[in-house]
Amino acid sequence: MATMVCVLMSMSPACAATLAPANKSEIDALLMVLKASGCQFNRNGAWYSSQDAQAHLARKLDYLVNKNAVASSEQFIERAATRSSVTGQAYTVRCGEESSVPSSVWLARELNILRTLPAKALKLD
């Protein structure tokens, strides 16, 4: 029950989360992958470049960090990178001629790839 309350009140100080430097580095690396991908990012019915998507999600990350509302890459994806906080519409990613996929799926896949790389390659240490 307490977990559900924290989910429903994720901005509550009682459920606040602190983003450790290693987790911040991992999210930053994920955002760099997005920026470098050349994929398009659909937000609220409009397609944006990967650079614009990275900038938008970085702003959302900063907001969550300032509110102590994110503690992991998974929470970042769930709370900032899955849907519009204004309209509730899901974000999607389209790379080249491939069909678009939910941003949560694309980002989770890229996060798993990042986690298989040596930390030095990502400068996470």
Q: Whole-model pTM above 0.85?
A: no
Question: Is the pLDDT assigned to residue 13 strictly greater than 70?
Answer: no
DSSP 92-124: EEE-TTSPPEEHHHHHHHHHHHHHHS-HHHHT-
Reported as type and span, the H/E element at residue 96 is none
Domain map (residue ranges) of the chain: 16-118
**Within 13 Å of residue 40, how many CA atoms lie on the same side as its CB?**
12
Place of tokens 């990178």: 81
pLDDT digits (tens, 9 = 90+) for 29-54: 999 999 999 999 999 999 999 999 99
Question: Is the pLDDT assigned to residue 88 strictly greater than 90?
Answer: yes
